C-alpha cells in the first residue's frame, strides 16, 4: 500500500472541516481507501503507529464514535486509553485544562475529544503540545463523522461534484450538519437543508456563511432531485423544550418514510449518523432498505479515523525527528 | 500642594469650553484658568508645574457601572485594586454594582463598603444598592434606609428582575427617593443556555444564541412600566440597535429613561468570537488551477468571513484576528453584537439618546475564563482600556471629542442628577490629562486591575490617560509625565480632533 503524502504539512489538529481544502479532504479519503483494505485482511492490523499514545477523552456519552476511534487506533497498533467523564469539567471540580495537562505529562500524543460544549477542542488545541482530534463538540463540529459521510458518498456516487445532498432534521443543534456543510460544499456538492423553523433558526444566518445553500420546509420538495439524504437524529428533549408540538407531527412531515423513499429518485442513498430513533426521523424499513448505507457508514468510520490518525501521527513524528 | 498644568487643551463640556491654556489647582480646587497670553504665577517651591503640551485637560470621568467584587470575591478584584484601575483609566468617581457576597442590600453592608472605600480607594466610590433583597427579584430592598446609608441608585445587575410586578414596584417606590432603577434588561427565557449573540457567527460556530430580542423585549417592558409609574428607569449596557430605537422613542414621548453603553459594545462585534482560523495553505504549492481547486467553497467561505471582518468600519489598529476562535475573553453579557448594532449605538451616543459611556468593568480570575466557552464567566476588565476605545471612535470620526468627553462626565452626572465634574473655578479639582495621540499596545499583564480578562490584549489603541487627579491630589500619573517639558507643537497635533464648528463651543 502506498500512501500519499499529506497536502498540508502544517496540519496538526482536526478541529472542524472549515479549514480543510478540497485537496486535503481528497487525500484523506484516498488514504482511507487503503485503510479499508487493511481492515478487510485476515489479520486486520498493521504496526504503523506503534509507540503512539492515543487518549479518547469523552465528556459525553458515546458508543459508536469511541469504539470506532479505539478500533482505528488499535488497527494501527497505537496505544489507546479511554477516559470517560460525566458532565462538564466545572461540575467535576477539575478544569479541563488540568486534565489535559495531566494526560500530556503521562505521554499522550493524540487526544480525541468529545464534549458537550462548542469550542472545547479549540481550547485544548491552544494548549496541548500534541494533536487534537475533535470527536464532536456541542453543536459545533464533528469532522470525523462528516469525513466518513463524504467517504461513503464518494464511494457510492463516484464524485460529489454537483450532486444534490439533502440534510433533514434537527439542523440547528447538529454538529454533524455543520461539519457536513463545510465538507460537502468543499467537494462541490449542492446542499439542501430541511427542518421546521424551530430546528433551523434564522435562514439568513446560515446563508451568511454558506451562500449557496438551499433551505426548504417541505421534505417532499427537498427530496425531488436528491442523490442522497442525510437524516439527523431527533432528540426527544427538543419536543420537551417546546420546539415541536409533537413527535407524531414531526414524523408525519419530516421523517423519511417508505412513501417518500419511493417518490424520490431511484437509488437515492440514505445516510444517518446514528443512533437511530426508528419511527421518529426514519421508518424502520427505510433504515434497512437497499438504499440505506447506514451500516457501511459505521465500517467506513473506522477507515477514515485510521487515515486521520495516520496523517496526524506522521506530522508529529516529522516534527519530533 | 499647588499644581500648575500648562499648555493643555482644556475641554470642559460643563462650560462648553475647548481652549488652550493653563489650569491652577490650589487647596484641592480649581483656582484659576490662564489663557496662553496671561502672565503665569511666579514659581515657588510649593508650586508643581505639569507640562501638558499636546494633551487634553478634562474633568474627571464618572463610571456608572463597575464591579468591584468586594466583599466576597476578592480574588477577582478588591476596592483597592479596582479603584486604582479606575484612576488609571481617568475615572474620578465610580459606582459599584451590588452583585457581591453579601450583596449591597442592607445599610450595614453599604456603610461598611463606603468606609472601606474611604480607607483604600484612590477615587470616589458610590454604592448602588440591590433593588431587591438578596438580589432575588422578589421583595424590594429597604430602599429608603439604603439611601440614608448612601446608595445613589438601585439595581439587581446581572440578575434581571423577571417579575414585571416587582419591577413596577421598584420603579414606583424609588420615586419618593428620586434615584434611578438601573435595569439589566434581559429576558432569560429567551436566551437559556446562551454563549454569544445569536446571529451568523453563532450559527456557524454552533454556540447557543442570545438574540437581540431577549434584551429588547425587556427594555420595552421596563419603558412601559416607567411610563406607568413615573419612576426613573436607567437602562444598563444597551447593546442592540432595537434597544436604542426603543429608548429614543420613549424619550421623545417624555418618559423618564436614561441609558448607558459600554466601550466594548461601541467598538467590538460578534466576529471577535470567530477569531481567526489556522493560516491558509501556502500559495506556493501547486499550479494555479490546482490552487483554485483547493480554494474551493470551504476556503472561499472562510476567507469571505475574514474579508467581512476586514471591511468593518473600524480603524486599522483593530484586528479581531489576533484571537483564536472561541476565545473566552470575548464572552460578556450582553454579548458583543453585530456591526449594525455598533453603528446604531454610536448614532445613539451622537444624538443624545444614550447618556453615558459606562465600562461594566467585570474583572475575573484566569480560571473563570480558561474553560469551555459556554461556561466561561461573562465580563471584560474594562476600566483601563475605556478611554483608548472611546478615543478610537473619535479618531475615526464617529464621535466628536467634546461629545465623547461629555458622555464620560456630564452624561453620567445627569443620570445621577448631580452637578457634573467640571473645571469651573472653585469646583473640586477632579480632572484628567489625556494624550489623545499616544498609541499604545494593550498588555493585560500591565493592568492594575486584578482582572486580566480582555479581548483587547495585543491591540493597538490611540489615546491614553497620562494623569488623574482627585480633589487636587494626583492619584495616577504615567511615569515621568509632565515633569519635563514636552516639545510637540500643540496646534498641529490637535488639528482635526476638535470639532471647532460646534455651535455651543
Q: Tell whether B93 is within 8 A of chain A (Cβ).
A: no
| pLDDT greater at residue B291 or residue A83 | A83
Identify whether A210 is part of a domain.
yes
Residues A147 and A292 in one domain: yes
In this structure, is residue A14 part of a structural domain? no
Same domain, A181 and A120: no
CA atoms within 13 A on the CB side of B72: 13
User: Is residue A198 scored above 50 in pLDDT?
Assistant: yes
Q: In this structure, are A256 and A287 located in the same domain?
A: yes
Classify residue A10: in a domain, yes or no. no
Give the model confidence (pLDDT) of B395-416 as tens digits: 888 899 999 999 999 999 999 9
Are A79 and A151 within one domain?
Answer: no
Whether A13 maps to a domain, the answer reads no
Q: Are residues A134 and A41 in the same domain?
A: yes
Query: Does A9 reside within a domain?
Result: no
- Strand B91-96 to strand B257-261: parallel, antiparallel, or no bridges (unpaired)? unpaired
Residue A8 domain flag: no
Q: Per-residue pLDDT tens for A23-67?
A: 999 999 999 999 999 999 999 999 999 999 999 999 988 889 999
Per-residue pLDDT band for B92 (boundaries 50, 70, 90) equals very high
The verdict on a CB contact (< 8 Å) between B296 and A10 is: no
pLDDT at B311 over 50: no
Cβ pairs bridging A and B (under 8 Å): 135
Other beta carbons less than 10 A from residue B150's beta carbon? 17
**Least Cα separation, residue B287 to chain A (angstroms):** 13
Q: Residue A89 falls within a domain, yes or no? A: yes
Averaged over B276-302, what is the pLDDT? 34
Q: What is the pLDDT of residue B485?
A: 67
Other CB atoms closer than 10 Å to residue B239's CB: what's the count? Answer: 29
- Secondary structure string (H, E, C) spanning chain A: CCCCCCCCCCCCCECCCCCCCHHHHHHHHHHHHHHHHHHCCCCCCCCCCCCCEEEEEECCCCCHHHHHHHHHHHHCCCEEEEEECCCCHHHHCCCHHHHHHHHHHCCCCEEEEEECCCCHHHHHHHHCCCEEEEEEECCCECHHHHHHHHHHHHHHHCCCCCCEEEEECCCCCCHHHHHHHHHHHHCCCEEEEECCHHHCCCHHHHHHHCCCCEEECCHHHHHCCCCEEEECCCCHHHHHCCCCCCHHHHHHHHCECHHHHHHCCCCCEEECCCCCCECCCECHHHHCCCCECHHHHHHHHHHHHHHHHHHHHHHHHHHHC
Q: Cα distance from A306 to chain B (closest Cα, Å)?
A: 23
Q: Which pTM does this prediction carry?
A: 0.90
Q: What is the DSSP string of B153-183?
A: EEE-TTS----HHHHHHHHHHGGGGT--EEE
Q: What is the pLDDT of residues B48-76, one digit of tens each?
A: 999 999 999 999 999 999 999 999 999 99
pLDDT of residue B288 exceeding 50: no
Distance from CA of B389 to the nearest CA of A (A): 27
Question: What residues make up the domain containing A221?
Answer: 143-296
Question: What are phi and psi for residue A121, nearest 5 degrees?
Answer: -65, -35
What is the sign of the dihedral through the CA atoms of B404, B380, A206 and B246?
negative
The domain that contains A190 carries what CATH number? 3.40.50.1370
* Residue of A24, A95, A122 lying closest to B371 (CB–CB): A95
Nearest to A118 among B296, B367, B373 (CB): B373
pLDDT above 90: percentage of residues in chain B: 79
Same domain, A105 and A150: no
Residue A306 maps to a domain: yes
What SS3 class is residue B33? Answer: strand
Q: Which of B206, B294, B371 sits opposite A139 (nearest CB)?
A: B206
Find the CB nearest B297 among A119, A138, A186.
A186
Q: What are phi and psi of B414, to 5 degrees?
A: -60, -40
Query: Between chains, do B375 and A88 touch, taking CB under 8 Å as contact?
Result: yes
Provide the domain count of chain A: 2
Count of C-beta atoms within a 10 Å radius of residue B192: 10
- When the pLDDT of each residue in chain B is averaged and rounded to a whole number, the result is 88
Any B CB within 8 A of A119 CB: yes
- The owner of cell 509507540 is A51
> Residues of B with catalytic annotation?
360
Q: By C-alpha distance, which of A127, A120, A84 is closest to A105?
A: A127
Residues of A in contact with B367 (CB under 8 A): 95
Q: Are residues A95 and A213 in the same domain?
A: no
For an interface test with A, the pick among B192, B198, B199, B203 (most A C-beta atoms closer than 10 Å) comes out as: B203
Is A229 in the same domain as A102?
no
- Looking at the structure, do residues A204 and A158 belong to the same domain, yes or no? yes
B chain contacts of residue A18, beta-carbon cutoff 8 Å:
277, 298, 301-302
H or E, element range at B93: strand B91-96
Q: Which residue of chain A has the CA closest to B298? A: A186
Q: Are residues A107 and A240 in the same domain?
A: no
Q: CA-to-CA distance for B262 and B48, rounded, in angstroms?
A: 36
Task: Find the closest chain B residue to A97 by CA distance.
Answer: B371
Q: Which of B312, B500, B336, B454 is nearest to B396 (CA)?
A: B312
Chain B residues within an 8 Å CB radius of A138 = 206-207, 374
- Rounded-to-integer distance, Cα B185 and Cα B197, Å: 15
Q: Residues of A with CB below 8 A from B202's CB?
A: 205
If asked whether residues A250 and A305 sit together in one domain, one would say: no
Q: What is the CA radius of gyration of chain A?
A: 19
Is B305 a residue whose pLDDT tops 50?
Answer: no
Chain B CA closest to residue A115: B372
Question: ipTM of this model?
Answer: 0.95
- In this structure, the answer to whether residues A74 and A132 fall within a common structural domain is yes
Please determine, for residue B390, whether its predicted confidence score (pLDDT) is greater than 60.
Answer: yes
Amino acid at each position: 500500500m502506498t500512501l500519499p503524502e499529506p497536502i498540508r504539512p502544517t496540519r496538526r489538529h482536526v478541529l472542524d472541516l472549515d479549514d480543510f481544502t478540497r485537496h486535503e479532504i481528497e487525500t484523506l479519503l484516498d488514504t482511507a481507501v487503503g485503510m479499508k483494505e487493511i481492515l478487510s485482511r485476515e489479520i486486520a492490523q498493521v504496526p504503523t503507529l506503534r509507540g503512539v499514545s492515543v487518549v479518547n477523552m469523552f465528556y459525553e456519552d458515546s458508543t459508536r464514535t469511541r469504539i470506532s476511534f479505539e478500533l482505528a487506533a488499535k488497527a494501527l497498533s497505537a496505544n489507546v486509553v479511554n477516559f470517560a467523564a460525566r458532565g462538564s469539567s466545572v461540575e467535576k471540580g477539575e478544569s479541563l485544562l488540568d486534565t489535559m495537562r495531566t494526560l500530556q505529562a503521562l505521554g499522550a500524543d493524540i487526544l480525541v475529544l468529545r464534549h458537550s460544549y462548542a469550542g472545547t477542542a479549540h481550547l485544548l488545541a491552544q494548549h496541548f503540545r500534541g494533536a487534537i482530534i475533535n470527536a464532536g463538540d456541542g453543536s459545533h463540529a464533528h469532522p470525523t463523522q462528516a469525513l466518513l459521510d463524504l467517504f461513503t458518498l464518494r464511494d457510492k456516487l463516484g464524485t460529489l461534484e454537483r450532486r444534490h445532498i439533502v440534510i433533514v432534521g434537527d439542523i440547528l443543534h447538529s454538529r454533524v450538519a455543520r461539519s457536513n456543510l463545510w465538507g460537502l460544499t468543499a467537494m462541490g456538492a449542492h446542499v439542501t437543508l430541511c427542518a421546521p423553523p424551530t430546528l433551523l433558526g434564522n435562514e439568513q444566518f446560515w446563508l451568511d456563511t454558506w451562500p449557496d445553500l438551499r433551505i426548504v420546509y417541505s421534505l417532499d420538495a427537498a427530496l425531488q432531485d436528491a442523490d442522497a439524504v442525510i437524516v439527523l437524529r431527533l432528540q426527544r428533549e427538543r419536543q420537551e423544550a417546546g420546539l415541536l408540538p409533537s413527535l407524531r407531527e414531526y414524523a408525519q412531515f419530516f421523517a423519511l418514510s417508505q412513501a417518500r423513499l419511493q417518490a424520490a429518485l431511484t437509488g437515492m442513498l440514505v445516510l444517518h449518523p446514528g443512533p437511530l430513533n426508528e419511527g421518529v426521523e426514519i421508518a424502520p424499513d427505510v433504515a434497512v432498505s437497499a438504499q440505506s448505507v447506514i451500516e457501511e457508514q459505521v465500517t467506513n468510520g473506522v477507515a477514515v479515523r485510521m487515515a486521520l490518525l495516520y496523517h496526524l501521527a506522521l506530522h508529529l513524528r516529522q516534527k519530533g525527528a | 500642594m499647588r499644581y500648575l498644568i500648562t499648555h493643555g487643551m482644556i475641554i470642559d463640556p460643563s462650560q462648553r469650553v475647548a481652549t488652550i491654556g493653563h489650569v491652577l489647582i490650589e487647596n484641592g480646587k480649581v483656582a484659576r484658568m490662564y489663557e496662553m497670553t496671561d502672565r503665569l504665577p511666579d514659581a515657588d517651591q510649593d508650586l508643581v508645574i505639569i507640562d501638558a503640551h499636546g494633551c487634553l485637560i478634562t474633568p474627571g470621568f464618572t463610571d456608572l457601572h463597575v464591579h468591584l467584587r468586594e466583599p466576597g470575591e476578592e480574588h477577582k478584584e478588591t476596592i483597592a485594586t479596582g479603584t486604582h484601575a479606575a484612576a488609571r483609566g481617568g475615572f474620578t468617581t465610580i459606582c459599584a454594582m451590588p452583585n457581591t457576597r453579601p450583596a449591597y442590600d442592607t445599610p450595614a453592608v453599604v456603610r461598611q463598603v463606603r468606609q472601606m472605600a474611604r480607607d483604600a480607594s484612590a477615587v470616589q466610590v458610590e454604592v448602588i444598592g440591590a433593588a431587591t433583597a438578596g438580589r432575588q427579584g422578589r421583595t424590594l430592598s429597604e430602599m429608603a434606609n439604603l439611601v440614608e446609608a448612601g446608595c445613589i441608585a438601585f439595581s439587581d445587575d446581572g440578575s434581571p428582575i423577571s417579575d414585571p410586578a416587582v419591577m413596577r414596584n421598584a420603579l414606583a417606590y424609588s420615586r419618593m427617593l428620586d434615584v434611578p432603577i438601573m435595569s439589566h434588561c434581559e429576558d432569560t427565557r429567551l436566551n437559556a443556555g446562551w454563549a454569544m449573540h445569536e446571529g451568523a457567527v453563532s450559527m456557524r460556530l454552533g454556540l447557543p444564541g442570545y438574540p437581540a430580542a431577549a434584551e429588547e423585549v425587556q427594555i420595552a417592558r421596563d419603558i412601559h412600566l416607567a411610563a406607568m409609574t413615573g419612576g426613573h428607569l436607567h437602562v444598563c449596557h444597551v447593546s442592540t440597535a432595537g434597544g436604542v430605537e426603543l429608548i429614543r422613542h420613549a424619550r421623545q414621548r417624555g418618559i423618564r429613561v436614561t441609558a448607558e453603553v459600554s466601550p466594548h459594545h461601541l467598538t467590538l462585534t460578534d466576529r471577535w468570537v470567530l477569531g481567526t482560523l489556522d493560516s491558509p495553505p501556502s500559495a506556493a504549492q501547486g499550479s494555479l488551477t490546482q490552487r483554485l481547486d483547493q480554494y474551493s467553497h470551504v476556503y472561499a467561505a472562510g476567507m469571505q468571513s475574514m474579508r467581512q471582518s476586514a471591511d468593518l468600519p473600524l480603524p486599522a489598529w483593530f484586528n479581531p484576528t489576533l484571537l483564536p476562535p472561541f476565545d473566552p475573553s470575548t464572552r460578556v453579557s450582553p454579548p458583543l453584537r453585530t456591526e449594525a448594532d455598533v453603528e446604531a449605538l454610536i448614532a445613539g451616543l451622537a444624538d443624545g439618546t444614550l447618556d453615558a459611556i459606562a465600562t461594566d468593568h467585570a474583572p475575573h480570575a484566569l480560571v473563570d475564563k480558561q474553560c469551555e466557552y459556554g461556561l466561561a464567566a461573562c465580563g471584560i476588565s474594562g476600566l483601563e482600556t475605556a478611554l483608548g476605545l472611546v478615543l478610537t471612535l473619535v479618531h475615526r470620526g464617529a464621535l466628536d471629542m467634546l461629545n465623547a468627553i461629555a458622555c464620560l462626565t456630564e452624561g453620567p452626572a445627569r443620570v445621577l442628577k448631580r452637578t457634573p465634574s467640571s473645571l469651573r473655578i472653585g469646583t473640586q479639582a477632579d480632572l484628567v490629562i489625556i494624550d489623545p495621540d499616544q498609541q499604545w499596545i494593550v498588555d493585560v499583564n500591565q493592568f492594575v486591575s486584578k482582572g486580566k480578562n480582555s479581548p483587547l490584549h495585543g491591540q493597538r489603541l490611540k489615546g491614553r490617560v497620562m494623569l488623574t487627579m482627585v480633589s487636587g491630589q494626583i492619584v495616577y500619573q504615567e511615569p515621568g509625565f509632565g515633569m519635563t517639558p514636552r516639545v510637540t507643537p500643540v496646534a498641529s497635533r490637535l488639528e482635526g480632533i476638535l470639532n471647532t464648528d460646534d455651535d455651543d463651543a
